[in-house]
Structure 1
Amino acid sequence: MEATATMDRAQPAHDPLDEASRAVADAAEALVDCWNRAGQNSATRLSALQVRALVAVRRVPGANLSRLAEMVGASVPAASRLCDRLEAAGFLRRDRAATDRREIGLSLTKDGADALLSLSERRAEDLRDVLQHMPDEERDALLAGLRAFTRASHPPDSAPPDRAPGR
């Protein structure tokens, strides 16, 4: 009798949400791998953090260093070093704010915007390569599921995330 009780505790009850969350996590890992490979295979090799910083500045032009640090999850000194590298590469510009000369705003250069566009195009190509191996009905189901996931992750009563124009 004791052995049966122990075995019952060792096996958790069937939980469809647990199975779904694990399947989504596996799919997200595959997607992130595909996403990151595109960055490594592009002419401009940017780290994931550098890409996040450029995307953040594109979404919030004129953001100051503190705001950028918050958006990318870095300390202000780390964000400053990150900006130094991106500025040296010609992707980012620091400008004094017109309203407060002590405030520094960040903006993308043309090269920075071009690098993000090139990366975005490469990622879309890589994703297309994967999607072409899926049957049409599974691809349609994936898209419907992703749209539902996006809606569920941003309920109507919550503030929408910062988004780039036209996205």
Structure 2
Amino acid sequence: MDATPENLHEVDAALLAADVMMGVAARSVMDVDDIVTSPQLRVLVTVATRGPQNLGEIATELGVHASNATRTCDKLVRAGLLARTENPTDRRFVRLTLTRKGTALVDRVIDHRRAALATVLEAMDPAERAAAADGFRAFALAAGVRQGADGRFTLVHPPAAASA
């Protein structure tokens, strides 16, 4: 769907909300930028939200060559934020999981985001807040986010709505 005069106010409202969300995310990253880079944080958040990953999945998520993903993950392993384990079903592939230290760092970032968003939501009328929550859920689903049986949320590539 392209921006048209009929939906321009909806698209602009989404852009405005996205700008606010990006500001919240950027400030949460600044809270840990002395510990990890943005790509490293993306790896940690990916593993936190999707569960154990292999290097190919990380490379795909970051949009980089496998060797770049390997270097990024090697640094996270050396920092004690990520652990490598053999995949029990295929020993050629390693599984990457968060360590306690990695989990604590991701939790710190997510807690920062939750607090910032809660402040904004608390400034809204309760009915607006409920409508916004419903709208955010619908937006995430339309973008391809799915919740698995384990409770984890994943972004399906490409989103189902976009491939129709």
Are residue 87 (structure 1) and residue 77 (structure 2) matched?
yes
Matching residue's letter, 1:92: L
Comparing 134-143 and 100-109, the one that deviates more: 134-143
Find the residue that maps to 1:125 and give its secondary structure: helix
What TM-score do the two structures reach when normalised by structure 2? 0.75
Which ranges in structure 1 are unaligned for 5 or more consecutive residues? 1-13
- Letter of the structure 2 residue corresponding to residue 165 of structure 1: G
Secondary structure at the counterpart of residue 105 of structure 1: strand
Contact 1:69 1:75 in 2 (8 A): yes
Kept in 2, the 8 Å contact 1:96–1:103? The answer is yes
Task: State the match for 2:151 in structure 1.
Answer: 165
Match of 2:127 among 124, 137, 145: 137
Tell me the distance in 1 between the aligned counterparts of 2:135 and 2:86. 44
Q: Which residue of 1 aligns with 2:10?
A: 20
Give 1:44 deviation, angstroms.
Answer: 6.6
Q: Is the 8 A contact 2:48 2:106 kept in 1?
A: no
Cα distance in 1 for partners of 2:148, 2:63 equals 15
Contact (CA 8 Å) 1:91, 1:108: kept in 2 or not? yes
Matched, 1:57 2:47: yes
- C-alpha root-mean-square deviation of aligned residues, in Å? 2.7
- Offset from partner CA, 1:106-131 (integer Å, 9 cap, x none): 11111111211122112111111222
Deviation at 1:48, TM superposition (A): 3.0
Give unmatched runs, 5+ long, in structure 2: 154-164
TM normalised by structure 1 equals 0.74
Identity over the aligned pairs, expressed in percent? 29
Equivalent position of 1:7 in the other structure: none
Deviations 1:32-62 (A, max 9, x none): 1112202212597433322221122234444
Of structures 1 and 2, the one with the larger relative CO (CA 8 A, separation 6+) is: 1
Contact in 2 for aligned 1:59/1:163 (Cα 8 Å) = no
Which amino acid is 2:126 matched to? D
